[in-house]
Chains A and B, each alone.
Chain A
Amino acid sequence: MNEKYISRSSAIAARLLGNEMMIMSAADSTFFTLDEVATVIWQAADGQTPLSQIAGRICEQFDVDHQQAERDAEHFIDELAKHGILMLSDKPAINFGPQQER
Chain B
Amino acid sequence: MDLLGEMNQKALELGVPLSVHLDITYRCNERCVHCYLDHDDHGEMTTAEIKDILSQMADAGVFFLTLSGGEVLMRRDFFEIVEYATSLSFNIRIKTNGVMIHEKEAHRLRELGVEQIQISVYSHRPEVHDAITKLPGSLKRTLAAIRFLLSQGLKVTIANVLMKPNLADGSGVMALAKELGVPYALDPTITPMMDGGRSVLALRAPASEIRNAFRDSALVGDVEKFCAPPPPPGEEIMEGYPCSAGHTGCYISPYGDVFPCVQFPLPSGNLRTQRFLDIWRDSDQLKEVRSIRAKDLPTCSTCSHVGTCTRCPGLAYMEGNMRGPSTADCEKSFLRTGIPSANMIRQLRSNASLVQIQAQ
Contact = CB atoms under 8 A, between A and B. Distances in A.
Contacts of A10: 86, 113
A15 B14 contact: no
Interface in B274-306: none
A22 B63 contact: yes
Nearest to B153: A27
Contacts of B155: 29
B86 A17 contact: no
Given A18-B10, A18-B14, A13 B90 contact: yes
A16 B61 contact: yes
B88 A100 contact: yes
B113 A26 contact: yes
B115 A26 contact: yes
A20 B16 CA distance: 13
Contacts of B112: 11
B54 to A, nearest CB: 11
Contact of B7 (A11, A14, A17, A27): A17
B113 A15 contact: no
A13 to B, nearest CB: 4
Contacts of A64: none
Given A29-B115, A102-B58, A13 B14 contact: no
Given A17-B11, A22-B63, A26-B115, A12 B89 contact: yes
Category for how many chain A residues contact B: 20 to 34
Contacts of A12: 89, 113
Contacts of B103: none
Interface in A1-39: 10-18, 20, 22, 24, 26-27, 29, 31-33
B59 to A, nearest CB: 6
Nearest to A9: B113
A14 B89 contact: yes
B91 A24 contact: yes
B114 interface: yes
Interface in A39-89: none
Interface in B89-120: 89-92, 111-116
A89 to B, nearest CB: 20
B3 interface: yes
Nearest to B116: A29
Given A31-B3, A100-B87, A17 B115 contact: no
Contact of A26 (B58, B59, B114): B114
B10 A17 contact: yes
A54 B10 CA distance: 28
A27 B91 CA distance: 11
Interface in B45-81: 58-59, 61-63
Contacts of B18: 17
Contacts of A13: 63, 89-92, 113, 115
A20 B116 CA distance: 24
A76 to B, nearest CB: 17
Given A11-B111, A13-B113, 16 more contacts: A11-B112, A12-B113, A13-B63, A13-B89, A15-B63, A17-B7, A17-B10, A24-B63, A24-B91, A26-B92, A26-B113, A26-B114, A32-B3, A33-B7, A100-B58, A100-B87
Interface of A: 10-18, 20, 22, 24, 26-27, 29, 31-33, 100, 102
5 contacts: A10-B86, A13-B115, A15-B90, A17-B63, A100-B88
Interface of B: 3-4, 6-7, 10-11, 14, 16, 18, 58-59, 61-63, 86-92, 111-116, 153, 155
